A and B are shown apart, each in its own frame.
Chain A
Amino acid sequence: EPEVTQTPSHQVTQMGQEVILRCVPISNHLYFYWYRQILGQKVEFLVSFYNNEISEKSEIFDDQFSVERPDGSNFTLKIRSTKLEDSAMYFCASSHTEAFFGQGTRLTVV
């Protein structure tokens, strides 16, 4: 069964460093998303991506964040100059009708 895959599953980084979270969406899906979930809290929308460009972004998705589809299969989220409060589970999703989520990347900023 096709699935969304995310790497790494867990990333620890020092405050101020840049991280890149990687995702391989389901191959025939056209819509891609990044969400985050701070531990024990709700799932928050970050950004949606369609037709090789951002289609919508939340107020959380400021200049610290960027997304890219560097090739036909990968979809990345870059977080520059990480802060402690960026520690969260980051989910990539892709959709045709329903959204399927990856298993998440747990980012810990120390």
Chain B
Amino acid sequence: AQKITQTQPGMFVQEKEAVTLDCTYDTSDQSYGLFWYKQPSSGEMIFLIYQGSYDEQNATEGRYSLNFQKARKSANLVISASQLGDSAMYFCAMRLSASGTYKYIFGTGTRLKVLA
């Protein structure tokens, strides 16, 4: 079964601290992509970071990094130096490809609250 699992419904972190949001995935595909999206209270979905299944180096984008452990099928998001504006819902997603097209499936999300 192709599935994304986020086991942390909610997380708290102190401002300026680092936080790790967990994501595990399940697929038998060899080629896939892993993504993290941020959804603030306003509702939009903001792309944060992408990791391809063949990428050997962990992806980084500013304060975001993706801790990709292929053997363990995990793709955790690390946010360094948390800011109050990081408070939001975070979704892990997997892109699968079949017959030349793509499909994204999402986890249930983790609500992050950054404390002042």
Complex Cα distance, B83 from A88, in Å, reads: 29
Are A43 and B103 also in contact (CB < 8 A) when A98-B47, A99-B47, A104-B43 are?
no
Contact A56 B98 (CB under 8 A): yes
Contact A97 B50 (CB under 8 A): yes
Complex Cα distance, B21 from A43, in Å, reads: 18
Contact B102 A31 (CB under 8 A): yes
B56 interface residue (CB < 8 Å to A): no
The chain A residue sitting closest to B4, CB to CB, is A42
B106 interface residue (CB < 8 Å to A): yes
CB distance from B1 to the nearest CB of A (A): 14
B44 interface residue (CB < 8 Å to A): yes
Contact B101 A48 (CB under 8 A): yes
Tell me the count of chain A residues lying within 8 A, CB to CB, of chain B: 25
Contact A42 B37 (CB under 8 A): no
Complex Cα distance, B100 from A42, in Å, reads: 26
Complex Cα distance, B105 from A43, in Å, reads: 8
Contact A99 B95 (CB under 8 A): yes
A77 interface residue (CB < 8 Å to B): no
Are A45 and B103 also in contact (CB < 8 A) when A98-B33, A98-B50, A99-B35 are?
yes
Among A33, A93, A98, max chain B CB count under 10 A is at A98
Contact A42 B102 (CB under 8 A): no
- Give me the interface of A with B, judged by CB distance under 8 Å: 31, 33, 35, 41-45, 48, 50, 55-56, 89, 91, 93, 95, 97-104, 106
- Give me the interface of B with A, judged by CB distance under 8 Å: 33, 35, 37, 42-47, 50, 91, 93, 95, 98-109
| Shortest Cβ-Cβ A-B pairs, 6 listed | A55-B101, A101-B45, A43-B106, A103-B44, A42-B108, A98-B50
